[in-house]
Structure 1
Amino acid sequence: MGDNNTNTALKSLSQGSGKTLVLLHGWGMNSAVFSEFLPFLTADLEVIRICLPGFGLNSDKLPEDYSLDTITALVNESVPEDSVVAGWSLGGLVAQQLALSYPDKIAGLITLASSPCFVSNGCWKGIEPEVLNGFQRQLARDYEKTLDRFLAIQAMGSASARQDVKTIRQQLGALPSPAEVALAAGLSLLETVDLRSMIGRINQPTLRLYGRLDSLVPTSSIDRIHELHPGADTVVMPHAAHAPFISHPQQTADILLNFINNLTRIDRYYS
């Protein structure tokens, strides 16, 4: 797959100071998608943004086996000890796997509009398989149109949907375009990864943040996820869709900071 350029660690971007928060982006995106969200965090935190393998700053770093375990291991090399890791959408799958695979390193887990399993299956609600299949077929013909369609679905339901898509589109251009192989492999991860039987073993303090208007992680799945991971804090933002940090940056930042500050107070109490 590609050039197998994995000899060096993944590149990352760091701003701010304080407790370390690592941000992981979603499918088709890169770390620039968090650019306008950063000012709401960096007065209190050191924020490290890591582009997933094959995306953005790391578009040239493609493992031969683009599996969740492999890309999580690569991301882990760039995650400092005692970090809180927040993953959006596909990045949430990586964040959950980081918490499972490296429990002594990850101090806290945050998922943003994410799930342990993105695809509808029986009574489990998510993205319909034929929708992801359609993305795969379209991707082979036109990445730009596929991304535009995916962005439109993500923003669907948000009162600021048109502006949300415009904002994301503008931000993505700041970093290199993704590798086609990573795009196809990333869609396959959304289609095949199922962590439902594993998330109950996540012991780190966890915040799961959702948008009530999200069509990719529907509200009907939230109670099911909580049943599988009852120790997690669950917050549903009533007016947000799949990109709450874009449509409601201040509210999203307040929720994240409250969670992280509580972790810091607990650390101080027991130290």
Structure 2
Amino acid sequence: MAEISKTDKPVLVLLHGWGVNQGVWQTILADISPSVQVITPDIPGFGRAQQLPQPCNFDTVLSELASQIPANSLVCGWSLGGLLAIALAERYPAKVQQLALVAATPCFLQQAGWPGMKAAVMQQFAQSLQRDLSQTVSRFLAIQAMGSATAKSDAVLLKQAIAAYPQASKAALSAGLEFLSSQDLRRSFAALNQPVVGCFGALDSLVPVAVVSELQKLQPNADLSVLAKASHAPFISHRAEFLAWLNNWLLTIG
């Protein structure tokens, strides 16, 4: 993670998703607005943050992450990172001045009247993780790029981006899946007082675009954008459009 230097610039925190690490952000860092200072912490158990807190649960992972985030940060979370960002905004409000979600939702699992992943799909991932860690992560990366016109090259880029950092342990990956399948933060999300923005892919197979209208109901003032040709990793597949969205948000912050 980049060291925090003493500047007057707001801090932008980029939180990665499941199965990857801070490396996923490397291709966009140079083109993020110079008006902010960017830090890219690894979620505990991933990348360079190999040690899991004990006991390892959602609260302890969140606490460990919160300890690395300066007060009044702009927190942008992708996928699992977005779930954690919502919880950070609720439980550590002094840390999160504004919240940005990228292909993320407060409830990843499909519920009655709520679009999401089917429980069977999540269970398949959990079972295959026990059999073959590397193959499961590779399959997951391929799914993230699915639907995009450049899906194959997107998946390769994702693999290359995360390869520069240590691979997550099976325990960390299992914990992350458990968070995605068990956490329902819809009430927390609806109660947030911080400004919320979001960027979603219309072709996303993990966070279906139908969830955007449901998020809007929970946060009527949220500014949620949908990229028509993007899937689950818009910062890889649609780098220019994603950067335009991100930098436009940063321009609105005084």
TM-score scaled by structure 2?
A: 0.95
Q: What residue ranges of structure 2 are gaps of 5+ in the alignment?
A: none
Residue 158 of structure 1: aligned partner: 148
Indicate the RMSD between aligned Cα atoms, in angstroms.
1.5
Residue 138 of structure 2: aligned partner: 148
Aligned CA distance change for structure 1 residues 140 and 88 (closer, same or farther; 3 Å)? same
1:129 lines up with 2:119 in the alignment: yes
In the TM superposition, what are the counterparts of 1:155-234 in structure 2 within 5 Å? 155-234=145-224
Runs of 4+ in structure 1 deviating by more than 6 angstroms, as ranges, are none
CA distance in 2, matches of 1:127, 1:66: 24
- The answer to whether the 8 A contact 1:120-1:126 is kept is yes
1:35 lines up with 2:32 in the alignment: no
**How many residues get paired?**
252
- The answer to whether the 8 A contact 1:40-1:250 is kept is no
Pairwise CA distance, 1:13: 2.2
1:105 lines up with 2:95 in the alignment: yes
Q: Secondary structure of the residue that 2:153 maps to in structure 1?
A: helix
Q: Secondary structure of the residue that 1:114 maps to in structure 2?
A: coil
- The answer to whether the 8 A contact 2:87-2:188 is kept is no
Residue 46 of structure 1: aligned partner: 37
- Cα displacement string for residues 52-90 of structure 1 (whole angstroms, at most 9, x for unaligned residues): 00000101x211233222211111111112210000000
Pairwise CA distance, 1:42: 5.5
Code of the aligned partner of 1:174: A
Q: What residue ranges of structure 1 are gaps of 5+ in the alignment?
A: 1-11, 265-271
CA distance in 2, matches of 1:241, 1:199: 23
Aligned CA distance change for structure 1 residues 69 and 229 (closer, same or farther; 3 Å)? farther
Aligned CA distance change for structure 1 residues 15 and 102 (closer, same or farther; 3 Å)? closer
1:56 lines up with 2:47 in the alignment: yes
1:261 lines up with 2:251 in the alignment: yes
Q: Secondary structure of the residue that 2:203 maps to in structure 1?
A: coil
Residue 11 of structure 2: aligned partner: 20
Q: Secondary structure of the residue that 2:184 maps to in structure 1?
A: coil
Residue 81 of structure 1: aligned partner: 71
CA distance in 2, matches of 1:256, 1:79: 19
- Cα displacement string for residues 73-116 of structure 1 (whole angstroms, at most 9, x for unaligned residues): 11111111221000000000111111111112211100100000
Q: Secondary structure of the residue that 1:219 maps to in structure 2?
A: coil
Q: Secondary structure of the residue that 1:236 maps to in structure 2?
A: strand
- The answer to whether the 8 A contact 1:20-1:47 is kept is yes
CA distance in 2, matches of 1:135, 1:67: 19
